[in-house]
């Protein structure tokens, strides 16, 4: 280990000594939190623990160069860093471990994520952006390994956009693009495809990203020899190293216990990324994991005695301590005294967190105890209720499940009784559930004034001489207005730029707005999604284009685990209003069938899923979404780009409402519900049914998530008394979702005179070609015959059997 770090500014020895001692205190505080945290799990106070012990010293070096405006996208070992930048206290650490649902106690997630998952608040109490340049920022962690990588790319790319695109109001978000996005990942997780995809994309884009790889040679119990070729990620990625002829990465390698070398390495990395906008990879080796992977197991089961002894000797805090003593920065006695005081502080912080967590629960327990006691004293079944009272009173450390369960079970014994006490108990539990449920369920979507649900419909307007044009031109001209009106808006995807997307919905716009705002990207859907998430988290309005709906599957994990949960898992303190643009419906062939909506909409709750039937409706959705602060998936109809639509005069202004259905044909005999391209088949079938005396009402869903907020469909069913849902998804997919919404949420069952039907695609994906589509998905004839069969069942004389 070197003895003197190169300090970026001249300071006295006393100042230098003070800084080192401060770092040591943070490292020891973090370590003691890890040690005591594990005990809290093993004693049952916490459910699970995963800690950052062994990674303390490199995180101190990282924190020194992390500036206001910078962003972190890390994984669940970075507690020392969060403490070092002043965003995690001892009490907050333990509040997160206990799962305290009070955002003031656990500001990371209000108990929605396990401990070790960190984030800062980008939004104020009203859901408005805070000034991100006045704080150090951490995007909210997720557990899936390497899942933080795609978002990291977008966080870094935002700096490039802010530096190079004129006209954006960057007041709260960027200082001329000088911010760095810092990522962390464990060495084993670099085996994930998301890591490699992101590394490649960042090298292509040349963005200010620094990725730290914490290498302790293990991934849970699996050694690096089973994880990584040559057992070294920096070794196998040497080809990414930049040189005089080629852009690429700066790749640095440093020992995780060498405090001085770490400080110098991170200073160098920061300078390169911040000034040159070059990505940097720091491979931090010879790290340890003193308590193993997590509280779910012991590392003594899979590490040899020699390895365990080596980890004790190479412990980064121990090595830092030895260096401090040998260089006269401190004495063993002084450091022992510091250690003793830190242990005391951590114990006190832990107790404060536990007391703060338990205090409201004990009050609620006491309220419930008194209510049930009063109920028992007024009931003929007192002896049975007293058993519930005894159980509740014996719980020394209650959780809300215990309280709610006790009250609800006690009410079972007074079903046939009437009393003031019963009424009071019923009223209390109703109010309790209403008050407590949001602690665990709120903020799936925005609760701000910019919620999509507040955006009112604005109809398209037309001149008397409005011409019929290809649907793609409605989109193109609307996007043109969008990019002119919103300088912070940009779009990127495969074939999006130079050729103006595969269907020319962006024709000529790259030439007009530049390659950064209308951009081509490589074939890498997960990081396309990550670009959108990261840039949206920094105030931009990205439209991430996934060429076809089928390709969403490559990005579905990121959409589901990161984007869909972001607002929820931060208790409304972060947002990423990404618009995901894709195209699908009635495609041909196994890999391009465009009908995975049943799976998609059930995996991305937290993202609006919009299915416009034509390009005017789609354009209206884009206009709506740019006025709101929520993410959405817009599925354009692939076979609608060349169909004729009238060109509106109020491009960029008309808005399609979200969560609102549209009745496209009135009728009295049956309600037909569909969306997207299949709706055209339903409309055609409805015309043909009219010829045989069947008057069908046709409703376009338009928005799957949210679904028919005004409950217009049930009003239609109340009139027709019959319902059929037509969908190109597989049986049990989106059609089952729609049916459940209509029957269970809207209670339409009470108006039905016939069994409700779903008409879906076959269970398989369609074969290639027009015949593959015809024999795999509902056709006009299928719709006609199925509706006719329902009407035959109602009135066989009026509608004789067809075949």
- The residues annotated with a catalytic role in the active site are 592
Distance CA 564, CA 211 (A): 24
Distance CA 736, CA 745 (A): 13
Copy the structure tokens of residue 44: 């049952």
Distance CA 462, CA 447 (A): 34
CB 90 within 8 A of CB 115: no
Which residue pairs from 199-204 have beta carbons closer than 8 angstroms and sit at least 24 positions apart in sequence? 199/149, 199/237, 199/240, 199/249, 199/281, 200/522, 200/524, 201/153, 201/521, 201/522, 201/524, 201/527, 201/531, 202/153, 202/156, 202/249, 202/279, 203/240, 203/247, 203/248, 203/249, 203/279, 204/522
Distance CA 146, CA 142 (A): 9
Nearest to 31 by CA among 81, 80, 91: 80
Q: How many helices, marked H, and strands, marked E, lie in the chain?
A: 27, 22
Distance CA 509, CA 507 (A): 6
- Strand, helix or coil for residue 578: coil
Strand pairing category for 644-646 and 280-285: unpaired
Rg, the chain, Cα only:
30
CB 154 within 8 A of CB 537: yes
Distance CA 673, CA 758 (A): 9
CB 78 within 8 A of CB 53: no
Neighbour tally for 755: CB within 10 Å: 9
Strand pairing category for 209-214 and 218-219: unpaired
CB 283 within 8 A of CB 213: yes
Distance CA 548, CA 493 (A): 11
> CB neighbours of 377 closer than 8 A, spacing ≥ 6?
421
> Quick one: DSSP state of residue 485?
H
CB 57 within 8 A of CB 259: yes
Nearest to 735 by CA among 744, 745, 724: 724
Question: Helices 316-326 & 259-276, crossing angle to 10 degrees?
Answer: 110
> Quick one: DSSP state of residue 788?
H
Strand pairing category for 696-700 and 670-674: parallel
């Amino acid at each position: 280990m070197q003895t003197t770090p190169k300090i970026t500014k001249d300071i006295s020895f006393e100042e230098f000594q003070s800084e080192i001692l401060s770092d040591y205190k943070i490292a020891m505080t973090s370590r003691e939190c890890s040690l005591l945290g594990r005990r809290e799990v093993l004693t049952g106070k916490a459910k699970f623990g995963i800690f950052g012990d062994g990674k303390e010293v490199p995180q101190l070096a990282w924190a020194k160069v992390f500036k206001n405006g910078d962003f972190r996208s890390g994984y669940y070992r970075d507690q020392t860093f969060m403490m070092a930048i002043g965003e995690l206290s001892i009490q907050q650490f333990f509040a997160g471990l206990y799962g305290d649902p009070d955002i003031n106690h656990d500001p990371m997630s209000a108990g929605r994520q396990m401990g070790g998952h960190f984030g800062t608040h980008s939004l104020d109490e009203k859901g408005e952006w805070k000034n991100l340049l006045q704080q150090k920022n951490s995007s909210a962690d997720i557990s899936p390994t390497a899942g933080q990588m795609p978002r990291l790319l977008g966080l870094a790319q935002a700096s490039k956009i802010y530096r190079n695109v004129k006209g954006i109001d960057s007041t709260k978000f960027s200082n001329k693009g000088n911010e760095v996005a810092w990522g962390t990942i464990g060495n084993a997780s670099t085996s994930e495809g998301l890591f490699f995809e992101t590394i490649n994309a960042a090298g292509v884009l040349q963005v200010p990203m620094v990725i730290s790889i914490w290498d302790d040679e293990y991934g849970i119990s699996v050694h690096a020899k089973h994880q990584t070729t040559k057992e070294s990620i920096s070794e196998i990625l040497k080809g990414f190293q930049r040189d005089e002829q080629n852009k690429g990465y700066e790749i640095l390698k440093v020992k995780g216990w060498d405090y001085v070398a770490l400080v110098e390495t991170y200073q160098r990395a920061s300078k390169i990324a911040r000034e040159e906008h070059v990505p940097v990879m720091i491979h931090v080796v010879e790290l340890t994991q003193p308590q193993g992977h997590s509280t779910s197991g012991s590392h003594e089961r899979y590490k040899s005695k020699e390895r365990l002894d080596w980890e004790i000797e190479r412990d980064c805090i121990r090595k830092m301590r030895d260096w401090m003593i040998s260089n006269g920065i401190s004495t063993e006695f002084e450091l022992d005294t510091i250690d003793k005081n830190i242990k005391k502080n951590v114990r006190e912080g832990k107790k404060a967190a536990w007391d703060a967590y338990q205090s409201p629960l004990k009050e609620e327990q006491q309220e419930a105890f008194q209510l049930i006691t009063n109920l028992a004293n007024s009931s003929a079944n007192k002896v049975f209720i007293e058993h519930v009272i005894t159980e509740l009173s014996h719980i020394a450390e209650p959780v809300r499940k215990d309280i709610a369960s006790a009250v609800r079970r006690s009410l079972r014994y007074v079903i046939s009784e009437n009393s003031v006490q019963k009424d009071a108990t019923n009223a209390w539990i109703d109010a309790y559930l209403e008050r407590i449920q949001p602690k665990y369920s709120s903020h799936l979507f925005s609760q701000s004034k910019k919620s999509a649900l507040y955006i009112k419909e604005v109809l398209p307007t037309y001149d008397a001489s409005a011409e019929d044009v290809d649907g793609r031109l409605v989109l193109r001209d609307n996007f043109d207005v969008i990019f002119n009106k919103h300088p912070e808006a940009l779009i990127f995807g495969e074939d999006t730029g130079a050729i103006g997307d595969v269907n020319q919905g962006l024709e000529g716009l790259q030439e007009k707005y530049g390659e950064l705002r209308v951009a081509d990207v490589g074939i890498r859907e997960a990081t396309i999604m990550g670009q959108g998430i990261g840039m949206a988290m920094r105030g931009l309005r990205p439209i991430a284009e996934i060429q076809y709906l089928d390709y969403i599957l490559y990005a579905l994990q990121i959409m589901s685990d990161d984007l869909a949960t972001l607002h929820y898992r931060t208790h409304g303190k972060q947002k990423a209003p990404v618009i995901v643009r894709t195209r699908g419906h009635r495609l041909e062939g196994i890999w391009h069938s465009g009908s995975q909506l049943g799976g998609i909409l059930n995996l991305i709750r937290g993202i609006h899923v919009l299915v416009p039937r034509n390009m005017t409706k789609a354009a209206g959705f884009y206009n709506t979404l740019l006025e709101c602060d929520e993410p959405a998936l817009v599925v354009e109809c692939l076979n609608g780009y060349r169909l004729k639509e009238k060109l509106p005069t109020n491009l960029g202004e008309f808005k399609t409402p979200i969560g609102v259905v549209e009745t496209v044909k009135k009728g009295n005999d049956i309600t037909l519900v569909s969306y997207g391209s299949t709706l055209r088949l339903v409309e055609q079938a409805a015309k043909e049914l009219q010829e045989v005396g069947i008057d069908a009402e046709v409703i376009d869903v338009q928005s799957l998530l949210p679904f028919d907020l005004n409950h217009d469909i049930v009003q239609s069913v109340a009139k027709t008394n019959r319902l059929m849902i037509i969908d190109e998804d597989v049986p049990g997919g989106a059609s089952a979702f729609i049916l459940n919404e209509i029957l269970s949420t809207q209670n339409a069952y009470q108006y039905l005179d016939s069994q409700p039907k779903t008409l879906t695609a076959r269970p398989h994906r369609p074969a290639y070609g027009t015949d593959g589509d015809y024999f795999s998905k509902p056709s006009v004839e299928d719709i006609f015959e199925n509706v006719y069969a329902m009407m035959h069942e109602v009135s066989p004389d009026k509608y004789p059997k067809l075949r």
